[in-house]
Structure 1
Amino acid sequence: MQATVSDSTPAPIRDFTGFEIERGEAGTDTWSVVLHQGYNPRLGVATATVCDPLPTDGHTYEYRARSYDAAGNYSPYSEIRAMTMSAG
């Protein structure tokens, strides 16, 4: 599974310096960080991509993302997106 997050806020006013993507199994409240990556806040559009090998167990996994700043403050989470891999 590949997930990409991007920040298109104009560079002069962008105050975040990185992205974090988390994965959790649907129906649970347990999340694991699968990407924690900084970026150059001066770029026009900042992006980060994670390739996450999901288990083929037929379970549904959810992903959410947020950005952070140099002081360690985090934005609210994005909308949750789900993915199910066939059992095999």
Structure 2
Amino acid sequence: MDNTFEIELVNDNEYAVRSEAEGQSVESLFRTDPGFLESIGLAEADGKRVVEETARFLAEHQPVIDFPPLIDLEDIAAAYDDYPQQLRNRLGKE
């Protein structure tokens, strides 16, 4: 599955993520908590890249059309044990 995501910073640590799925526009708000990023060793990572790779990771686990309207990275980490490691790998941090 090759999803294309349009990512826009809309507020401090909040990014609108847009994509197309099943002929529909999908938009979710991804929130990045600096404390969480620091706890997983990504304090200096570019927020937009973090969100892009998070959206790709999530799309590998569920249909984009099913993305909730609000996504906190901590919730993804709680649902997927391998998320922090996968994110570090995708960002070339390990």
TM over 0.5: no
- Larger relative contact order (Cα-Cα within 8 Å, sequence gap ≥ 6): 1
Which structure carries more helix by proportion?
Answer: 2
Larger radius of gyration: 1
Which structure carries more strand by proportion?
Answer: 1
Length-normalised TM-score, structure 1: 0.29
Length-normalised TM-score, structure 2: 0.27
